[in-house]
Structure 1
Amino acid sequence: MALSRNRRGGGGNADYWPGFVDALSTLLLAIMFLLSVFVLAQFLLSREISGKDAVLDRLNGQIAELTQLLALEQSNAQDSEDQIASLRASLGALEEDRSRLQAALESNGGNAAAQSAAIGALTESLADEESISQRARSQVELLNQQLSALRQQISALESALEASESRDRESQTKIADLGSRLNVALAQRVQELNRYRSDFFGRLREILADRENVRIVGDRFVFQSEVLFPSGSANLQNAGTGELDQMAAAIKELAAEIPSDINWIVRVDGHTDNVPLSGTGSFADNWELSVSRASAVVKYLVSQGVPAEHLAATGFGQFQPIEEGSTPEVRRRNRRIEFKLTER
């Protein structure tokens, strides 16, 4: 729809301040959403890393136990080797004694029976020592086999640890890439919604900016309640429906242009002053009145063809004033209906 810059004639400079404020607020929303995604990603990563750390701790515990066992087996092997050395020394001494006895037998020629018995005893003792030495060698061989198996287990554990660290690095890389893509997507969505929001406010500015009781406050269009409702009532009066008809036309044009994958709403907020309602009215308090007025505006916009899924009604009573104070003018300014285009 082609809209005039000024329906009463005459040119004017474009007011870029509301668009700038709108861009800042949207950027803040995008940053908050991004921080939420980042915190969620950090939470998931911390859970995964915590699980990996538990596995690493178990692996380190097993390695420590195997290391202690290896040290013990090495100590046992050293003791066995010392024992074998001692047996070999004893065997050498026995062989020397046997040689001396044989030499003495040959030189003596007498007492052959006694000497033969002594030689037999020495030979038997020598056989026992050789048997002990053989058992010690078998134990050393078994210990060597156990050490080899322990080294293989340690090597397998080190390989598993390296694989786990590699998976951790890959997970961190994927998370960083996901965050980068989310940032790009969010920036694109924010820019696109900003463009439609600027168009929407530009149209409303052209339609409603010259109205005395309609003004722009930040990123919102504000209607004074007196334009739409009688005092203390939530029933729309005929004088205000014309303004709402123009608002409905602008929202319908916007709904036709914004892509379906962008979730957006026009939020209608009801506000009252801080004067308590009398107990004889239809509403218990200002909060209930503000909600009813916002709902009445939303229902009227829906009746004019605005998609209901793109509208929301909220009431704030007297708890979100534009100005603080109790003068008649401040109270009048605080009695209002606000329209804001935002993400759902």
Structure 2
Amino acid sequence: MALSRNRRRDRSVDYWPGFVDALSTLLLAIMFLLTVFVVAQFILSREITGKDEVLNRLNSQIAELTQLLALEKGNKQDMEDQLASLQSSLAQSQSERTRLQELLTNGAGAADTANARVNGLTAELDAEKQVSERAMSQIELLNQQIAALRAQIAAVEQALQASEAKDRNSQVKIADLGKRLNVALAQRVQELNRYRSDFFGRLREILSDRQNIRIVGDRFVFQSEVLFPSGSETLNPAGQVELGKLAAALLDIAKEIPPEINWVLRVDGHTDNVPLSGTGRYRDNWELSSERAISVVKYLISQGVPANRLVAAGFGEYQPLVSGDTPEARAQNRRIELKLTER
């Protein structure tokens, strides 16, 4: 009866570590998604910051052009005032000429003087006309400069509008990129979960008749006694048979996994908490667990599994399945775990 009770205890499955591993895997996937999204946001923020600098430079150029326009308008007003003054002088000269002509008509004796005065006024009038023509040409030049400044301001405004439109398009692209990234990552996770389920389903069918091989969450657990002699990292014949079945199932499912899914099979070595004697080959349980994991990996490679799809890790006695120092607890903690995951 005690033997039957021990067998039932050995066959009981503790689902809690698998649930913790599944939550850890989900948390890592979420952190990876957030990291990619933050990097994309950072790169696009830097691009938008550069555009803001360009906009600031354009605004400063507009301010300078506006100042130049105001200055040219002031010059134009001065020239217009000068032209008005010249026109007033011309009107006075013409009135003076008329008065002199009247005096010439009324007084024949003052004809020579009047003619001289008229000639002088005519010369002054011609000079004033030349000045007026120069003023008009300067005004025309100022008008052309003002038109050129307005054209430059219009071009700057068009550049600002184009930049603002580009910024809006960038924001739309950022949102679209985030959505597509989330969808792609979700699809990758679903595909990997499906192939992991197929892989463990086939292994469950192949290894279902072995009591020393268990499924804990998303991992296959081999008791060390099934694969290795006590205190050794060399696979025994029975362990090689079981690992051969594992390699065949892994090669079969690997043909169906798309190449863009970067999957790996992680092999974890674990020991109990009993210290190794100093006279053995290994100094501590770290070395023993690591060498056992490496032995499993090398054997799978010899059976045709690609080396770049395998990872070996040793945990010593520091990741036990069950707590306690009973022989049953230590036997469960001496194990090799296999987990299919994405790199």
TM-score, length-scaled by structure 2: 0.78
What does residue range 253-332 of structure 1 map to in structure 2 within 5 Å? Answer: 253-272=252-271, 279-318=278-317, 321-322=319-320, 327=325
Q: Distance in 1 between matches of 2:102 and 2:322?
A: 127
Q: Distance in 1 between matches of 2:15 and 2:205?
A: 13
Letter in 2 for 1:311: L
| Structure 2 residue aligned with 1:156 | 155
What does residue range 100-249 of structure 1 map to in structure 2 within 5 Å? Answer: 100-205=99-204, 213-238=212-237, 240-249=239-248
- Structure 1 residues 84 and 280: CA distance shift in structure 2, 3 A: farther
Shift of 1:332: 5.7
Residue-by-residue CA offset, 1:140-163 (whole Å, 9 max, x unaligned): 000101111122222223333333
| Structure 2 residue aligned with 1:250 | 249
Letter in 1 for 2:136: R
What does residue range 26-45 of structure 1 map to in structure 2 within 5 Å? Answer: 27-45=26-44
Contact 1:27 1:190 in 2 (8 A): no
| Structure 1 residue aligned with 2:71 | 72
Letter in 2 for 1:154: I
Residue-by-residue CA offset, 1:6-50 (whole Å, 9 max, x unaligned): xxxxxxxxx999998787666545544433443343344234334
Q: Distance in 2 between matches of 1:271 and 1:65?
A: 74
Residue-by-residue CA offset, 1:174-225 (whole Å, 9 max, x unaligned): 5544444443333333222212212323344455577665444432223344
- Structure 1 residues 128 and 322: CA distance shift in structure 2, 3 A: farther
How many positions carry a matched residue from both structures? Answer: 332
Q: Distance in 1 between matches of 2:331 and 2:126?
A: 120
SS in 1 for 2:64: helix
Residue-by-residue CA offset, 1:265-324 (whole Å, 9 max, x unaligned): 211022345666555443455443332221101112233444434322123445x52479
| Structure 2 residue aligned with 1:52 | 51
Q: Distance in 2 between matches of 1:217 and 1:139?
A: 94
- The worse-fitting range, judged by mean Cα deviation, of 332-341 and 23-32 is 23-32
Contact 1:26 1:194 in 2 (8 A): no
Contact 2:15 2:217 in 1 (8 A): no
Shift of 1:334: 4.7
SS in 2 for 1:87: helix
SS in 2 for 1:234: coil
Contact 2:18 2:219 in 1 (8 A): no
- Structure 1 residues 216 and 135: CA distance shift in structure 2, 3 A: same
Shift of 1:340: 0.6
Contact 2:269 2:292 in 1 (8 A): yes
Shift of 1:78: 1.3
Shift of 1:137: 0.8
- The worse-fitting range, judged by mean Cα deviation, of 227-236 and 15-24 is 15-24
Letter in 2 for 1:94: S
Letter in 2 for 1:99: T
Q: Distance in 2 between matches of 1:119 and 1:30?
A: 103
SS in 2 for 1:321: coil
Structure 2 residue runs of 5 or longer lacking an equivalent are 1-13
Stretches (4+) displaced over 6 A: 15-23, 323-326
- Structure 1 residues 232 and 170: CA distance shift in structure 2, 3 A: same
Letter in 1 for 2:65: L
Q: Distance in 2 between matches of 1:151 and 1:296?
A: 81
TM-score, length-scaled by structure 1: 0.77
- Structure 1 residues 70 and 326: CA distance shift in structure 2, 3 A: farther
Contact 2:22 2:217 in 1 (8 A): no
- Structure 1 residues 93 and 327: CA distance shift in structure 2, 3 A: farther
Q: Distance in 2 between matches of 1:85 and 1:162?
A: 42
